[in-house]
Structures are given as C-alpha cells and as structure tokens.
Amino acid sequence: MENYDITIENNMPKKEKNMVNAVLEKYDFEVINYSKVRSAYKIETNNGNVCLKRINHGKYKPHNGSFLVDALSDKGFFNTAKYYKTKTQDKYVKYKDILFYATEWIDGEECDLGNIEEAITCVKLLAQYHKAANGIDTTQLKIRNNLKNWPKIFKDNLRDLEKFERIVKNKRIKTKFDSMYCSCLDNIYNRAMISLKFLNDSDYYKLSRQAEKNKTICHDSFYYQNIIKKNNQYYIIDLDSIIIDLHINDLGKFIRRLMFKSSYEWSFEKAKILIEAYNEVNKLEKSELEVMLALIVFPHKFWKLGRKRYIKYKKWDESKYIHKLNRLIKYNDMQNKFLEEYLNYIESYS
C-alpha cells in the first residue's frame, strides 16, 4: 500500500489523517480514498470498500468477530461482513492506545424498520443467524455470559428507580421534569415489579441451563444501524457486542424498540406478526414467549431516561427531557393493552 495518493472527502484533522494513514500502512490494501462515516472509516480500495473501525478497548473483539464469521460461514450463513488481517496476519492494529480492525464494507443502505415488511425480513435474518450460531464452539471466544443474569439486571434497575425518586425528593428546587418523572414512578415501578414476577414465575432458569449447554450466541445490538440491505439481501454487521444469552434477548429487545416507533405504537398484532415470522425459521417454545414478555414490558426506556438525567447528568435542554418523557407517558395505556393481548396469545400458543 506504499505511495498511495489519497484525497479526503471530508475535513479530517491532520492528526487524525496521520493516524489513519499509519494504520492503513499495516494492511495490503491499495487505497484510493477514505472518509469518515459515523465512528468508522470507509476505505475505498481497488478491490472494493473496506470498513476500518476503531475501538478503545477489547482487543478480543476483532478475534471474536472474525472467528464467528468463519464459523457461521461453515454452517452456511454468509450474511455478515468478512474480516481482514494485516500484512503480518494480525486481526487488529494498535496505534498508541487505540485499536483498529478492518472488515468488508457492505455497500448498501440501512433498512427501514418503520416498514413492517422490512422488519419481517430482518426478523427472519435474525432467526437464521441464531440457528447458524447455535452450537458454535465458544471456548475460542472471549465473550460475556449473560445467562441467569436477567433477574439481577431487573432488580438493579428497580433499585435505580428508587434512587431516582430519592434524588428528586432531596432536591430543594425541582424542575418540571423532576415533578413529571416522580409522578409516574409508582406506576412504572409497579410495571417493573410485574415484569420481574413474570420472569420469576417463568422457566427462565431452565431455558438458561439449556442455552448454557448450547452456548447460544446473541448479537445484542440487532437494530437498524447494524442491518444493511444490499440488492435485496440483508446483512448483519458489527459483532463487537456478541454475548452468550437466550435468543429471545435479541428478539425481545428488537420488538421492544420497534414498539416505540410511530408505525407500531405497542400494537400487539404487529408484534405477533414479527414473532410468527421468526417462528417460520426458528420456532419458539411457549416458555420462551413467557420469558420474552418480561423483557419487552420492563420499563427500560423510563429507567434509561432517569439514568441519563440523575446519574449521567446528560446535558439536554429541559424541553428535550420533557419531550422524551411525554413520549413514554403517552404509550402507557397502549402498553397495558399490549400486555393483556400478549398474555391471551401465550394462553392459546402451541
């Protein structure tokens, strides 16, 4: 890759350009051009486009992703981006304290999850990924095992809600957001307790034991920015977050996020369509649906908003905080109806 001539499409600081150039020298790419896209770099080469990604920690991530892509390919799943090694066959480059790794750049577009037909296709892709990833030898991977951890997460989040309430009560001067957030807390706390009860009454631990044997690998960040559409084919990218967990972790989080979109608005009929699309490829047990309900209805977004305000002190305008809270409040009755319809669905599920 020596003596290449590069014109930068966007105005990158000289220090950053020097860093990228130094990293690219370690690869065998014949570079034509590069530009920054979000937190990654799009590298145009004479042999197609490459994604150069930087990570601040976790040198095992490029190894995990590379190993998983190869293992998935061996099982007939090719809808991922392949990983590239350096000239010295390393899976990453270290530049000062920053790590970089390179993958194929899937030249497509992010899918439109507001369109339920696209969401159905994505859910089927997820099911195919789960089937292919099942039984892969995880001893070669350094990834977090999240099995049997959900009750602890739920309880920790419940304690956080209690903490947020104490913080607001101890404030001498309360903002409008503080008062609005606190006025919702009893209702939200009760919903969180209901979620925890669903989890405790389910076969969660039995399912976790089964998953422990199979070492089921979840993507754990399956959403629009990590699903690329190219020529009517869909690809899963960014395997940095993979964990060992129940498959319904991916599916439940995906459905929960969609339910807050204006084209879904906690419509159980639409959630049911997605569940049944997943089932066409990878059939869920009734017990899995029961556990997934606990995940979907847990008030994660309400907890997350409180954490941003009272723990992380995210510097948003008061109006932005209020807008986000109002969006959550407006879905309250819809969520209650969703819960009722989901329970009826489970009752007749076979």
Same domain, residue pair 81 and 170: no
Same domain, residue pair 128 and 97: no
Cite the DSSP H helix spans in 202-246: 204-214
- Tell me the two tokens of residue 262: 């204006």
What pLDDT sits at residue 10?
57
The tokens 């990158």 sit on which residue?
A: 12
Same domain, residue pair 291 and 263: yes
What pLDDT sits at residue 115?
97
Rounded CA-CA distance 124/296 in Å is 19
What pLDDT sits at residue 12?
86
Same domain, residue pair 256 and 155: yes
Question: Domain for residue 1, yes or no?
Answer: no
Of 105, 131, 163, the domain-final residue: 105
Same domain, residue pair 150 and 29: no
Question: Domain for residue 229, yes or no?
Answer: yes
Of 80, 105, 130, the domain-final residue: 105
From residue 222, give the alpha-carbon distance in Å to each of 43, 76, 240: 24, 20, 11
Same domain, residue pair 196 and 336: yes
Phi-psi region of 254 (alpha: psi -120 to 50; beta: other; left: phi over 0): alpha
CATH number for the domain including 159?
Answer: 3.90.1200.10
Question: Domain for residue 28, yes or no?
Answer: yes
95: which strand partners? 98
Q: What is the pLDDT along the chain (350 residues), one digit of tens a residue?
A: 343 344 445 578 999 999 999 999 999 999 999 999 988 999 999 999 999 999 988 889 999 999 999 999 999 999 999 999 999 999 999 999 999 999 999 999 999 999 999 999 999 999 999 999 998 999 999 999 999 999 999 999 999 999 999 999 999 999 999 999 999 999 999 999 999 999 999 999 999 999 999 889 999 999 999 999 999 899 999 999 999 999 999 999 999 999 999 999 999 999 999 999 999 999 999 999 999 999 999 999 999 999 999 999 999 999 999 999 999 999 999 999 999 999 999 999 98
Pair 296, 199: CB distance under 8 Å: no
Of 105, 139, 155, the domain-final residue: 105
Tell me which residue range forms the domain holding 279. Answer: 116-347
Question: Domain for residue 2, yes or no?
Answer: no
Same domain, residue pair 271 and 123: yes
**Gyration radius of the chain's alpha carbons:** 22
